[in-house]
């Protein structure tokens, strides 16, 4: 998470979201405790709690008192839709412009994959 000017809680949110999108945490799965995630990323537990709270506010995480935090049903779909919308609206126009500037062909790009 180094070399990133965004607040730490936002970066931690991205780490958790990526894990959900990649299937490391599925809908209904428990998430690491605040302390465990803080230790894993060298973050303050209050910062991790803020990241989790923002997920809870968005309906992506559920808290079961005395048990822990869990990925809400449908969270992976919501995150995927948000990531897709962000890519198509914010990133793709820049990527497409670069492809056109460099006069790249789609077959060249797919051959690299």
Instruction: Count the neighbouring beta carbons within 10 Å of the beta carbon of residue 72.
Output: 18
Q: What is the pLDDT of residues 80-100, one digit of tens each?
A: 999 999 999 999 999 999 999
Nearest of 52, 51, 55 to residue 82 by alpha carbon: 55
Residues 6 or more apart in contact with residue 15 via CB below 8 angstroms = 1, 41
- All domains in the chain, ordered by first residue: 1-113 (1.10.10.10)
The tokens for 14 are 């991205």
Write down the pLDDT at residue 11.
93
Q: Check if the beta carbon of residue 11 is closer than 8 Å to that of residue 52.
A: no
pLDDT digits (tens, 9 = 90+) for 18-74: 999 999 999 999 999 999 999 999 999 999 999 999 999 999 999 999 899 999 999
Q: Global pTM?
A: 0.79
Cα torsion angle, 4, 8, 13, 19, sign: positive
């Amino acid at each position: 998470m180094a070399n990133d000017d965004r607040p730490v809680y936002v970066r931690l949110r991205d780490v958790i979201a990526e894990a959900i999108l990649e299937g490391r945490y599925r809908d209904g799965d428990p998430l690491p405790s605040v302390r465990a995630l803080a230790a894993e990323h060298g973050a303050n537990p209050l910062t991790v709690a803020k990241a989790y709270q923002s997920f809870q506010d968005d309906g992506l995480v559920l808290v079961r008192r005395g048990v822990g935090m869990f990925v809400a049903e449908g969270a992976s779909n919501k995150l995927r839709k948000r990531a897709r919308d962000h890519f198509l609206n914010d990133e793709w126009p820049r990527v497409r412009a670069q492809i056109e500037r460099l006069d790249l062909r789609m077959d060249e790009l797919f051959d690299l994959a």
